[in-house]
Structure 1
């Protein structure tokens, strides 16, 4: 089957755009379908949401050649302090002990988006198809047909492989009737930027409470070096009340939950709320199809694993496709074949299960008010802090360096230089 593209990436958000950029060094014709026009003129503001990039994720981005465009806009996480409100348990992770520059980096979503929006249009083998929405997907033995509706009306595109990176409410997943497993945590994440009286010193705080974790991450701005990004998990019925509180009352209630490790909480940015659920697609691949990022797995934000897991999806899929092309030696190997998709799925299975299990267990365990459970989890926190093998295992997971790593995470390009 003659196709318009080798690969169609559906979704031009951070995971989808990164997928296209990661594949661009390979001899592939790539199309990116996105419902919203790409913009490169966005400027960061105090109220921007942020993500925590693990050390391994930063390495993937650096190997792709994008880190230099982000390096002066990130805040390094030098230490992580984990505690349980009202209890004795505490765990501390330190970048110096791991001999790395940082355990991770906090960066505003808008900054990453702007870098990708500037980079993608310059790639000769990547075509941006936007604004356009997908209306139908047909996976066949020798290719895939994707129907879209854009500014010029309806069109039909063909490809050897469709990569769905269109988020937790994936249209591709729904059109193909791929079943999911889901769990509503009954919690909502309230997100804002906070400025405390004391400088964060590069420390990320995760404080567990009976309604969910409170995370404060270093996110220094040019005009506000003490700024932190807040992710405050609350019971869903309480979110609206918090959004409607005055800034002073909101900060006072947060202060009571978080404590005074950073002194008085002084400044509050605009607040947003996002309901939390666990979702996992029962099929993450089919012949001609791969689901990546939130289209395949949507996690609780506890421990900040969601985007990092999606970025490893990108790196592994790029690795697998690079190998397929190398093995073909220019003979037209089928990048969407069932065996190729299964190779990707097999590689990702362990990481998906481990991270999803880890975040789900933490979310449930630390929201359980029963005294025996609280005692057990605090003993566990202390054990991790003082038992080197336990701390090492947690740190490797936090760094994004656990398990079999793809080339991009090892600092190796997808293709050898000729």
Structure 2
């Protein structure tokens, strides 16, 4: 069987934010290749609402400035920005100590350091864009296994309870780290349990956030409050990420909403006035998960399937997005050279280029947790002096800002043709 007899060229397991973004990037950058997404949710016009109504309890993601640039290249940003709350300032502090630093978008010539976007809204924008492409959607379905072939891969799929197979040049696993597919395919993840949980909720405060994101380190773990709601007017709603031990999480979840607000007030303080409302609470255990070798002939892991980080610095999805762009870059170059996209020379180069980025990002996030988790007085003094030093040393502050904006390392650029880009979404 030759390659033009394959069912498709690229099979993507998972159509969430990572998988859908990869599919759209492929349609924009390598349109001559056929792409099939295997996902539990159908892709159809009648499955997408005409009007988006933001929910108070919607879960959200912090998009770095560098991620905005990627979405612009994909022709997606004009749609996403309709409900993207800008982060114009970042305030980092150490509870009970003098250390603090502040970042301002205007100091870096940007309108924002990042944005907070509801996950559902990003998903809808991606789905609407994909409807105008040739991407095929197998749903409701899931990938259950894969066998290498001379031409690429033979992928086992369970669709509507019935088994079927798809042949292609390459399989990309984009279904997160908890589906079990990664392990079924023989990839080994190294996991380190932080012994903490992230509690996620939206909250309202007596004073406006003024587009400030707060990262507050406490003796029981970090917490973040990100501006949420209107992209135009500073409001009183913020997205909360609260790090808690197992015992503390259990205690907080047992409280009434009014009691939760009081506990949150005790930990965060009064910078935003009184906490007046807390929405539905989600939670998950915090683990650092990485896969050293995330590729093999015909298969690549992306997103949380390849690496899952602590949310302390909001780097997870932004790192995944840069990895997706790097992968698409290599697919484009492979096609131009006449090399199958599942060839290890193509996938190995993707891993080499992306490895430095994820190692630096993991080190940055992990070191923050360890540094601010130390209660010893000498360490406390050193980190507080470091926070103060960021305000006093311009070079150090620029480095920290680049990390926060997702522009501190190699920035992959999609090789789009002249007629593809922001105009494509209009």
TM-score category (smaller protein): over 0.9
Q: What residue in structure 2 maps to residue 30 of structure 1?
A: 35
Give the match for residue 20 of structure 2. Answer: 17
Calculate the aligned-residue CA RMSD, in Å: 1.7
Alignment of 1:232-251 (within 5 A): 232-251=242-261
2:8 touches 2:169 (CA, 8 Å); kept in 1? yes
**1:405 corresponds to which residue?**
411
Structure 1 residue 383, shift from structure 2 partner? 1.4
Identify which range, 104-113 or 149-158, moves more after superposition. Answer: 149-158
86-95 vs 381-390, which moves further: 381-390
Partner of 1:362 in structure 2? 368
**C-alpha displacement at 1:93, in angstroms?**
0.8
User: SS where residue 205 of structure 1 aligns?
Assistant: strand
How many angstroms does 1:361 deviate by? Answer: 1.1
Task: State whether residues 210 and 235 of structure 2, in contact with CA within 8 Å, keep that contact through their aligned partners in structure 1.
Answer: no
Q: Shift in Å at residue 388 of structure 1?
A: 1.0
Conservation of the 8 A alpha-carbon contact between 2:211 and 2:234: no
> Displacement, 1:272?
1.2
Task: Report how far residue 173 of structure 1 moved.
Answer: 1.1
Number of the residue aligned with 2:151: 142
Given the alignment, which residue of 84, 88, 91 partners 1:74?
84
Give the equivalent residue in structure 1 for 2:48: 40
| Contact 2:40–2:141 under 8 Å retained in 1 | yes
Contact 1:285 1:291 survives alignment (8 Å)? yes
Alignment of 1:284-323 (within 5 A): 284-323=294-333
Which string of whole-angstrom CA distances, capped at 9 and with x for unpartnered residues, describes residues 319-359 of structure 1? 1111222333xxxx311101001110111011010001111
Shift of 1:400: 1.0
Unaligned runs of 5+ residues in structure 1 are none
CA offset at residue 415 of structure 1? 3.6
Instruction: Tell me if structure 2 keeps the 8 A contact 1:3–1:143.
Output: no
Q: Report the TM-score when normalising by structure 1.
A: 0.94
Match of 1:351 in 2: 357
Q: Structure 2: which 5+ residue stretches go unaligned? A: 421-426
**Distance of 1:404 and 1:225 partners within structure 2:** 35
2:423 maps to none
Task: Find the aligned partners of 1:380 and 1:142 in 2 and give their Cα distance.
Answer: 54
Match of 2:170 in 1: 161
- Secondary structure at the aligned position of 1:122 is classed as coil
User: How far apart are the structure 2 equivalents of 1:292 and 1:216?
Assistant: 28
CA distance in 1, matches of 2:398, 2:162: 55
1:40-85 per-residue CA deviation (whole Å, 9 max, x = no partner) reads: 2274310011111000001101110011111120110001000000
Distance 2:212 2:292 in 1: 37
Q: 2:157 touches 2:165 (CA, 8 Å); kept in 1?
A: yes
Contact 1:322 1:414 in 2 (8 A): no
* Number of residue pairs the alignment of both structures matches: 409
Distance in 2 (alpha carbons) for counterparts of 1:44 and 1:181: 37
Which deviates the most, 136-145 or 10-19?
136-145
SS of 2:416's equivalent in the other structure is coil
1:221 offset after TM fit, Å?
A: 4.3
> Which residue number in structure 2 is paired with residue 99 of structure 1?
109
C-alpha separation between the residues in 1 aligned to 2:333 and 2:406? 22
Q: Identify the residue that residue 390 of structure 1 maps to in structure 2.
A: 396
